[in-house]
């Protein structure tokens, strides 16, 4: 499934894709397709020579040491940053022009959201429905989906709590519920378990797996190599360039990790080689 990852496959994939145009989950076109991309905040590239294709139904983890360009790559995939070179496509459209937010669920490191704002867990989860309702009001159906998402992450009793009063793990559950409420085809998670208690982490990965079995494509940016090797089906190991891209079990046997991290990183070390 991960065999098509270089330029030669891109063209055929693209022509196949134009035929199915907007159709989503059922189509065989790639959700994400990067071709020879390069990007740098300054003259020095942060990521270069990266080609990557993610098909519907995959469960992909991107790993790499701090400063390896993981988060940058994610922003390029989502079209939050503009490429210097190459092309990035999301659901067959150029990433930066893609605007059907209902198809993507996004969970960031919790640091990104406003910290002092008075807002309840339910209000946060309701945001997941905003791409579906636009300028309109949330319908009874939308509220039902919100309640369901809250129940799925075990936060029903916290629905009317102020987000600022929650622990890190509880906050993160709220953000995951928001992504679930969006009913997206592609879930993008940027180190979602930072600050989450160990027990919830396991349950959280089980949840991701269940979602993946439902047919939702998952793209996970992770520091925790143990979590990645236990759960993801495919690993992309990154340090400015792609060091490895393939099934998880092959990754464990390869020397890509040592090359990318440059140290004796191991799978048993929990948060592995990077976190300073």
Partner 1 sequence: MPVELFAVLQAGPLDAVLAPFYWFLALWSDLLFVVGDATGLGFLDYRFMHRAILVGLCIGVMAPLIGTFLVHRQLALIGDALAHTAFAGVAVGLFLNGVFSLGVSPYLTAVVVAVIAALLIELISEATDAYNDVSMAIVLSTGFALGTVLISLNAGGLAVGINQYLFGNLSTVSAENAAILLVLFAVIVGTVALTRNQLLYVTFDETAAAVSGISVTWYNRVMVMLTALVVVGAMQIMGVILVAAMLVVPVAGAAQVSRSFSESLLVSVVLAELAVLLGIGASYYGEATAGGVIVLFAVGIYVVAVAIGKIQARAGDDATPELGSIESSDL
Our CB check for partner 1 shows the closer of 119 and 265 to be: 119
Our CB check for partner 1 shows the closer of 55 and 148 to be: 148
Q: Is 96 in the site for partner 1 (CB under 8 A)?
A: no
DSSP label at 120? B
Residue in 68, 72, 170, 193 binding partner 1, rule: CB under 8 A: 170
d(Cα 127, Cα 137) in Å, to the nearest integer? 12
Residues in binding contact with partner 1, number by CB under 8 A: 53
Q: What is the dihedral of CA 45, 48, 54, 59, to 10 degrees?
A: -70
Phi and psi (nearest 5°) for 254?
Answer: -80, 170
CB 203 within 8 Å of CB 43: no
Q: Is 183 in the site for partner 1 (CB under 8 A)?
A: no
d(Cα 262, Cα 211) in Å, to the nearest integer? 34
Residue in 55, 123, 183, 250 binding partner 1, rule: CB under 8 A: 123
Residue in 62, 153, 227, 235 binding partner 1, rule: CB under 8 A: 153
The residue with tokens 């994939």 is 13
Q: Is 207 in the site for partner 1 (CB under 8 A)?
A: yes
Q: Is 160 in the site for partner 1 (CB under 8 A)?
A: yes
- Segment holding 38, helix H or strand E: strand 32-39
Our CB check for partner 1 shows the closer of 8 and 214 to be: 214
CB 206 within 8 Å of CB 35: no
The piece of 23-31, 56-64, 106-114, 244-252 that touches partner 1 (CB under 8 A) is: 106-114
d(Cα 165, Cα 110) in Å, to the nearest integer? 14
Residues that bind partner 1 (CB under 8 A): 78, 80, 98-102, 104, 106, 108, 112-114, 116-120, 122-124, 127, 130-131, 133-135, 151-158, 160-162, 165, 170, 173, 178, 182, 188, 200, 203-204, 206-207, 209-211, 214
């Amino acid at each position: 499934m991960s065999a098509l990852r270089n330029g030669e496959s891109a063209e055929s994939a693209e022509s196949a894709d134009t035929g199915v145009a907007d159709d989503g989950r059922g189509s065989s076109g790639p959700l994400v397709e990067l071709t020879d991309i390069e990007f740098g905040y300054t003259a020095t590239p942060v990521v270069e020579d990266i080609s990557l294709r993610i098909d519907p139904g995959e469960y992909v983890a991107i790993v790499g040491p701090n400063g390896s360009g993981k988060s940058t790559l994610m922003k390029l995939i989502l079209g939050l940053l503009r490429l210097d070179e190459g092309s990035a496509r999301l659901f067959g459209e150029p990433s930066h022009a893609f605007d059907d937010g209902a198809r993507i669920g996004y969970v960031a490191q919790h640091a990104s959201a406003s910290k002092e704002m008075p807002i309840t867990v339910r209000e946060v989860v309701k945001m997941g429905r905003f791409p579906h309702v636009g300028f309109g009001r949330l319908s009874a159906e939308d509220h039902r989906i919100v309640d369901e998402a809250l129940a799925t992450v075990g936060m029903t009793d916290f629905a009317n709590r102020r987000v600022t009063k929650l622990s890190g793990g509880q906050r993160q559950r709220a953000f995951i519920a928001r992504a679930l409420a969006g009913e997206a085809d592609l879930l993008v998670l940027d180190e979602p378990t930072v600050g989450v208690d160990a027990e919830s982490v396991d349950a959280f990965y089980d949840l991701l797996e269940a979602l993946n079995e439902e047919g939702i494509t998952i793209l996970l940016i992770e520091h925790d190599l143990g979590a990645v090797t236990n759960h993801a089906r495919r690993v992309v190991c990154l340090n400015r360039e792609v060091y490895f891209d393939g099934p998880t079990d092959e990754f464990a046997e390869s020397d890509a990790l040592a090359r990318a991290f440059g140290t004796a990183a191991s799978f048993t070390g929990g948060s592995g080689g990077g976190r300073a």
